[in-house]
Amino acid sequence: SAVISQKPSRDICQRGTSLTIQCQVDSQVTMMFWYRQQPGQSLTLIATANQGSEATYESGFVIDKFPISRPNLTFSTLTVSNMSPEDSSIYLCSVEDPWSGELFFGEGSRLTVL
């Protein structure tokens, strides 16, 4: 199994600022995913981040708002840009075990935008 660490675990930010969330995995993985979970809602996939290529964004999410970096096989960042109160959510990083197909999640980063 993979162990995923996310930073920060929570933050309170001002409108109009940007926040970068870091995701560190204890093993090399090909596919990393970023999800958003708004209060009381299910998880929504933001993008898929593969090392060495541009992230692939889901409908409704754009690179200018959620730029993603994937510099190596164990690390990724998601930036939430020009934040508004509507961006208040839990942001989760996840990785796939290529052998079992199982998806592992970090504990999430709880973002509150004032």
Partner 1 sequence: DAKTTQPPSMDCAEGRAANLPCNHSTISGNEYVYWYRQIHSQGPQYIIHGLKNNETNEMASLIITEDRKSSTLILPHATLRDTAVYYCIVRVYTGNQFYFGTGTSLTVIP
Contact residues: partner 1, CB under 8 A: 4, 31, 33, 35, 42-45, 48, 58, 92, 94, 96, 98, 101-108
| CB of 18 or CB of 95, closer to partner 1 | 95
Minimum Å gap between C-beta 47 and partner 1 is 10
| CB of 13 or CB of 31, closer to partner 1 | 31
| CB of 41 or CB of 82, closer to partner 1 | 41
Q: Are 110 and 13 in contact (CB under 8 A)?
A: no
Minimum Å gap between C-beta 20 and partner 1 is 19
Q: 3: helix, coil or strand?
A: coil
Token reading at 89: 């959510």
Token reading at 36: 């958003």
Minimum Å gap between C-beta 104 and partner 1 is 7
The Cα 85–Cα 3 span in angstroms is 30
Q: Are 104 and 33 in contact (CB under 8 A)?
A: no
